[in-house]
Amino acid sequence: MDKFSVETAVQIPKGGNKLYFVGIDISKFKHDCAIIDEIGDVIMPSWSFNNDLEGFSILREVLSSLQGDIKIGLESTGHYGQNLKLFLESNGFSFMECNPLLISRFVRSKSLRKTKTDSIDAVMIAQHLMTVEYKPYPASFYHMDKLKSLTRFRDSLVRQRSRQLVDLTNVLDKVFPEFKPFFKGKFSVTALYILANYPTPEKIANMNARSYEVLRKRSSGKFTMIQFAQLKTLAKNTVGSSDDYLLQQMEVLLDIYTQLDAKIEEVEAEIIECIIGIDPPILSIPGIGAMSAAVILSEFGDFAKYANPSKMLSFAGLEPGYFQSGQSEHTGHMVKHGSSHLRYALLNCCLPLIKNEPTFAAYYAKKRAEGKPHRVAMTHVAKKLLRVIYTLQTKNIPYNADLVC
């Protein structure tokens, strides 16, 4: 039915303590729901309810009318289902998130037709729920979702800041091309302060002793008088252009960059406060900081839903592809399905890990001795790290080097 109302609903059989499987296909403005019983009979064909309080209330009324145990499956589709999940949790209903890739494979296994509608998906989600172990979302999922939202928001801000930095560099190359090479290609705190307070080569050339003292303090004494004099000379003899339109662009870009930098610091502080409050065992691993731990923890979510570390490798896109043809079979490159945020965070942890943890350093050296290139060896370290993380989180124990063996 296209639009559900309680009055026109299919009557749910009364009596008995039955088991019901509820499939919900999530979308932006409305969700589709279907209900089947423990033998696969469709109790309520697919119907739609709005993504608002009225729609949620209708769903609650339907679920409350079911006399028996209820297992609810939601297809994991980004943030569109967040409010529904909070509503279900607050009303005492458990639910399980289903991987869209697994749902798609299940649909293909049931039919060769390529027909796809939300109503079909809702029934298929319910049927898929019958075939897997029901692993409901933990009651504390809100904290993980908050952490995931914060870490992804930070990632978005960092990418915006990087784009601003490229644009700022392009303009600076026209105004004062000698500036960035002087600072070895980096926008340090000192370099950004100079650009913000002395935005033209002329003003940099006219900096005085008081200017130097401020720069010396801001750089904790690293910016020397010799460097100060060299920069002033470069500014005085620059081949750059000081056209007003270029200076205006540089001022705007620098202002946006500075604002983004400040906002990133604010978000990072909130992430760190959140992850420290959770205090997960992953933080006990040498070389893994709060930011990396936050990304890994929030992207995986509830570790109990993974039967073994191999399932987590698959989710992170770190397992090799498998090919079979006739009597030939072999593994290939990483499939790279799953969360790119997670995969990047895991690989990004490897370098500090092998620098701070001798056992991981020895494992990396072993892979290099086997002839593995650097990037391949680092991928093996990431896989080993993931297995260790799985053990720590599922057993709630601190890191021990013996776990790497």
pLDDT in tens, 49-59: 999 999 999 99
* Residue 76 within a domain: yes
- One domain, residues 259 and 284: no
On the question of pLDDT at 166 being above 90, the answer is yes
Q: Please state, in angstroms and rounded to a whole number, the distance separating the CA atoms of residues 249 and 242.
A: 11
Asked if pLDDT for residue 78 goes beyond 60, the answer is yes
Residues 172 and 206 placed together within one structural domain of the fold: yes
Q: Which positions ≥6 away from 370 have C-beta within 8 Å?
A: none
Q: Give residue-wise pLDDT tens across range 80-89.
A: 888 898 899 8
Same domain, 244 and 310: no
- Domain stops at, among 77, 112, 137: 137
Q: Which residues contact 290 (CB under 8 A, 6 or more apart)?
A: 271, 272, 275, 276, 283
Q: Tell me which of 84, 119, 137 is where a domain ends.
A: 137
Q: What is the pLDDT of residue 302?
A: 79
Question: 322 falls in which pLDDT band (50, 70, 90)?
Answer: very low
The pLDDT of residue 11 is 53
Structural contact between residues 234 and 182, judged by C-beta atoms closer than 8 angstroms: yes
Q: Identify whether residues 395 and 301 lie together within a single domain.
A: yes
Q: Tell me the C-alpha distance between 109 and 114, whole Å.
A: 11
Distance CA 281, CA 65 (A): 42
- Residue at 13 is within a domain: no
The answer to whether residue 215 scores a pLDDT higher than 70 is: yes
CATH number at residue 190: 1.10.287.4070
The residue ranking higher by pLDDT, 325 or 129, is 129
For 259-282, what is the mean pLDDT? 94
Average pLDDT across the chain, whole number: 86
Rounded to the nearest angstrom, the gap between the alpha carbon of residue 66 and the centroid of all alpha carbons in its chain is 36
Residue 1 falls inside a structural domain: no
Q: Same structural domain for residues 62 and 107?
A: yes
Report yes or no on 3 lying in a domain.
Answer: no
How large is the average pLDDT for residues 373-386? 93
Domain termination residue (choose one: 243, 274, 305)? 274
Same domain, 131 and 150: no
Query: Are both 24 and 44 inside the same structural domain?
Result: yes
What percentage of the chain reaches a pLDDT higher than 70?
Answer: 86
Q: Are residues 301 and 330 in the same domain?
A: yes
221 φ, ψ to 5°?
Answer: 85, 0
Domain tally, the chain: 3
* 314 and 397 fall within a common domain: yes
State which H helix or E strand residue 101 sits in: helix 100-110
Provide the token pair at 80. Answer: 């569109």
In the structure, what pLDDT confidence band is assigned to residue 12 with cuts at 50, 70 and 90? low
Range of the domain at 120: 18-137
Q: What is the pLDDT of residue 117?
A: 52
